Structure 1
Amino acid sequence: MDFGAVLQTNPPASRTVALAKLAEQHGFSHVWTFDSHLLWQEPYVIYSQILAETRRVIVGPMVTNPATRDWTVTASTYATLNEMYGNRTICGIGRGDSAVRVTNGKPTTLKELRESIHVIRELANSRSVEYNGATLQFPWSTGSTLDIWVAAYGPLALKLTGEVGDGFILQMADLDVAEWMITTVRRAAEAAGRDPMSIKFCVAAPMYITASDDEADRQHMRDQCRWFGGMVGNHVADIVAKYGEGSAVPKALTDYIAGREGYDYNEHGRAGNTHTDFVPDEIVDRFCLLGTADQHIEKLKALKELGVDQFAGYLQHDNKEETLRVYGETVIPALREHITAKA
């Protein structure tokens, strides 16, 4: 299993770069960031500095969207970073949430998402593409490679992911939901004539490590990560509005938003978000990875058994460095294949 660290690009940018470097030192293969240009600093500028100061980590947004950036500009950014630093970028993409809603916009349609994936992928992989009635290609780009991983929740978005995605991003670590969604994506891939096992699966959720798991520690971790249930609730609310409460979407995903009254994007992704009181403790425990290293390892092994290829841990809490250290020294080694020097 691979491991990613998910960061917010809060100022100063040097802090984000430092955390990315620390993640690499502790064995993380990916560094992801939020992409919401009004709420936080511009991620692609910071990616350039991260890539310049690291050797191996792959960087990308979790997640960008087709609405706030021209697709050809997005592709050009990736191809340029790949030319400068080697092929060390990845594109997580979805229909759009905070980046579009803060400007009173709406998430894109699935048709637009599908088209944007095709345009970005072809151009960023140094290939030509049909766009707005013209055949386009970067004459300066050769050998660039970019995988596009799709973030999705609803049935039609999961179907699209199976049909066109190089990977699937599930932003929650609930085992029941993960099993349903992975199965749904693989079935869609197979129906589209693709190898369902060729799609990479990433589970992204807050990770918080403590030395003990007494009730006080557990409650502190929950309060630091409750924001995540609110963020996920935005997407779940869209699903319930579209499909109704009796849809095929697991009840574990839909029931908890009954008490949701609103959401303030000024507090998006922040510990202590005052608009997430509706998220019960049970949901925080199910959606996140909280507790001792052994508890993290147990849940990660269960996710791996379901077919998860990468766990990407959000670090929007007060224990960033220690969580990275324990993952590097204890958790990540426990999920690696063990090889002995002498048989």
Structure 2
Amino acid sequence: MEFGVTFQTDPPAWRVVELTKRAEELGFACAWTFDSHILWQEPYVIHSQMLSATERIMVGPFVTNPATRDPSVTASVFATLNEMFGNRTICGIGRGDSAQRVLGRKPATLGQVERAMHVIKELAEGREVDYGGTRVRIPWVRGGRLEVWMAGYGPKALSLAGRRADGFILQLADPVILEWTASRVREAAAAAGRDPEGLKICVAAPAYVGGDLAHQREQCRWFGGMVGNHVADLVARYGEGSEIPTALTDYIKARREYDYSHHGKAGNPTTDFVPDDIVDRFCVLGDARDHIVKLRALEKLGVDQFNVYLMHDAMEETLEAYGREIIPALTGAASTPEEGP
């Protein structure tokens, strides 16, 4: 298992750059950022500085969408960063929850996501695409490489990820739901004639290392509300009693409203409906030993990357604990206690 970390691009942007440098020193393989241009600062501007300040770590959005950015522009951004920094970008993509809804728009359709994944990957790697009836390619791309990982929860999204994406992103760390989603992604990959084992599985969730479990829960309860936005869409589309596990859908029955001005932030006042057991299941909490136990269970289910959502009041402490204790335990790599922030 490898490890990623996701940052919100709250100002000052230079703090994200410094945290990325430290993440690389501590053994993280990827540094991701949210992509919601009204709520947070523009990620691709910051990505350039994250890449410039580091040597190996991969950088990308978690996740972008095909609605707020034209896919051909997104492809050119990745191609440019890769030309500058040596194919060190990765593209996470989804339908666009907060990025669209804060503008009063609906998320993109899965059809739009599918077309965007094709356009972004092909153009960023230097190949020609049919773009609305016009054949185009980026002529200056030489040797470009870009993996595109797709986020989703519902049956149709899982099928699309299996058929077309290089990786599948599940934004929660519940082993039961992981097993259900990953099996459907792999089944779709096999049905499409792809190697199911060649498709990466990434689990992303808040991780908080410490001793006060009640405090950790309050700092991470916002995540159940974020996931609840997607689950509410699924229930509206498929209805209750569908094939979607009740472990994912039951808890949103008490959901009333959601305030995007507090999206992805500790203390979100519209996530008080999220019960403690959901926080415990969806997140990774407790001391370092608790994290290691849960992550080993996820690894046994085929997770290739665990991505730490670092949005709480112990960002540096959790980052350090992962680098010094948790990553070495899962990868066998030596920790680096002599290195300072």
Q: Name the TM-score class by shorter chain.
A: over 0.9
Give the direction of change, closer, same or farther, for the CA distance of 1:8–1:338 in structure 2 (3 Å limit).
Answer: closer
User: Contact 2:63 / 2:91 at 8 angstroms: preserved in 1?
Assistant: yes
Q: What's the offset of the Cα at 1:243?
A: 0.4
Partner of 2:130: 130
Matching of residues 37-186 of structure 1 within 5 Å: 37-186=37-186
Partner of 2:339: none
Code of the residue aligned with 1:264 in structure 2: it is D
Residues 1:286 and 2:254 aligned together = no
Code of the residue aligned with 1:7 in structure 2: it is F
User: Contact 2:92 / 2:148 at 8 angstroms: preserved in 1?
Assistant: yes
Give the distance between the partners of 2:330 and 2:83, measured in 1 at CA.
32
For residues 229-261 of structure 1, the C-alpha deviation after alignment (integer angstroms, 9 at most, x for no partner) is 000000000000000111111111000000000
Report the secondary structure of 1:289's partner residue: coil
Code of the residue aligned with 1:239 in structure 2: it is L
For residues 31-82 of structure 1, the C-alpha deviation after alignment (integer angstroms, 9 at most, x for no partner) is 0110000000000000000000001110111100000001100000000000
Q: What's the offset of the Cα at 1:336?
A: 1.1
Give the distance between the partners of 1:62 and 1:247, measured in 2 at CA.
28
Q: TM-score, normalised by structure 2?
A: 0.97
Q: RMSD over aligned Cα, in angstroms?
A: 0.9
Code of the residue aligned with 2:219 in structure 1: it is Q
Report the secondary structure of 1:5's partner residue: strand
Partner of 1:239: 234
Q: What's the offset of the Cα at 1:338?
A: 7.0
Give the distance between the partners of 1:164 and 1:139, measured in 2 at CA.
24
Residues 1:229 and 2:224 aligned together = yes
Partner of 1:253: 248
How many residue pairs get aligned? The number is 334
Report the secondary structure of 1:275's partner residue: helix
Q: What's the offset of the Cα at 1:337?
A: 4.3
Give the direction of change, closer, same or farther, for the CA distance of 1:338–1:16 in structure 2 (3 Å limit).
Answer: closer
Report the secondary structure of 1:179's partner residue: helix
Instruction: Give percent identity, aligned residues only.
Output: 62
Q: TM-score, normalised by structure 1?
A: 0.96
Unaligned runs of 5+ in 1: none
After TM superposition, which residue ranges in structure 1, 4 or more long, deviate above 4 angstroms? none
Partner of 2:314: 319
Give the distance between the partners of 1:64 and 1:278, measured in 2 at CA.
28
Residues 1:330 and 2:325 aligned together = yes
Residues 1:308 and 2:317 aligned together = no
Give the distance between the partners of 2:16 and 2:109, measured in 1 at CA.
32
Q: What's the offset of the Cα at 1:22?
A: 1.2
Counterpart pick for 2:267 among 254, 269, 272? 272
Q: What's the offset of the Cα at 1:134?
A: 1.0
Give the distance between the partners of 2:130 and 2:236, measured in 1 at CA.
35
Partner of 1:202: 202
Partner of 2:337: none
Q: What's the offset of the Cα at 1:25?
A: 1.1
Code of the residue aligned with 2:326 in structure 1: it is V
Code of the residue aligned with 2:325 in structure 1: it is T
Code of the residue aligned with 2:330 in structure 1: it is L
Give the distance between the partners of 2:53 and 2:113, measured in 1 at CA.
32
Q: What's the offset of the Cα at 1:24?
A: 0.8
Report the secondary structure of 1:80's partner residue: helix
Give the direction of change, closer, same or farther, for the CA distance of 1:198–1:263 in structure 2 (3 Å limit).
Answer: same
User: Contact 2:168 / 2:202 at 8 angstroms: preserved in 1?
Assistant: yes
Give the distance between the partners of 1:277 and 1:112, measured in 2 at CA.
33
Code of the residue aligned with 1:200 in structure 2: it is K
Give the distance between the partners of 2:194 and 2:139, measured in 1 at CA.
30
Unaligned runs of 5+ in 2: 335-341
Give the distance between the partners of 1:18 and 1:336, measured in 2 at CA.
24
